[in-house]
Amino acid sequence: MSDLQAIVDRIEIEALRGEHADAANMGDYDRFASLFTHDAVWRMPDVNVTFLGREEIRAGAQRLGDDWEFFVQNTHAGVIRLDGDTASGRDYIYEIGRLRDGRSVTNYALFHDRYQRTPDGWKFTERVYEVKYLDTTPLAGSPLVTWEDAQPTADNAPLAQGPR
Question: pLDDT by residue (tens digit) across 18-73?
Answer: 999 999 999 999 999 999 999 999 999 999 999 999 999 999 999 999 999 999 99
pLDDT category at 148 given cuts 50, 70, 90 is low
Chain-centroid distance, C-alpha 127: 9
pTM of the model: 0.85
The domain total for the chain is: 1
Q: Where are the beta strands (DSSP E) in 27-119?
A: 36-44, 49-52, 68-76, 80-83, 86-99, 104-118
- C-alpha distances (whole Å) from 110 to each of 59, 91, 158, 162 are 22, 5, 24, 29
Dihedral (Cα; 64, 60, 81, 130), 10-degree rounding: 40
CB 46 within 8 A of CB 129: yes
Quote the CA–CA distance of 137 and 140 in Å, as a whole number: 9
Q: Is residue 151 part of a domain?
A: no
Q: Is residue 86 part of a domain?
A: yes
Q: Is residue 99 part of a domain?
A: yes
Q: CATH number, domain at 82?
A: 3.10.450.50
Question: pLDDT by residue (tens digit) across 95-144?
Answer: 999 999 999 999 999 999 999 999 999 999 999 999 999 999 999 988 77
> 3-class secondary structure for 4-50?
HHHHHHHHHHHHHHHHHHHHHHHCCHHHHHHCEEEEEEEEEHHHCEE
Quote the CA–CA distance of 48 and 119 in Å, as a whole number: 32
Domain that holds residue 24: 3-146
Q: Is residue 79 part of a domain?
A: yes
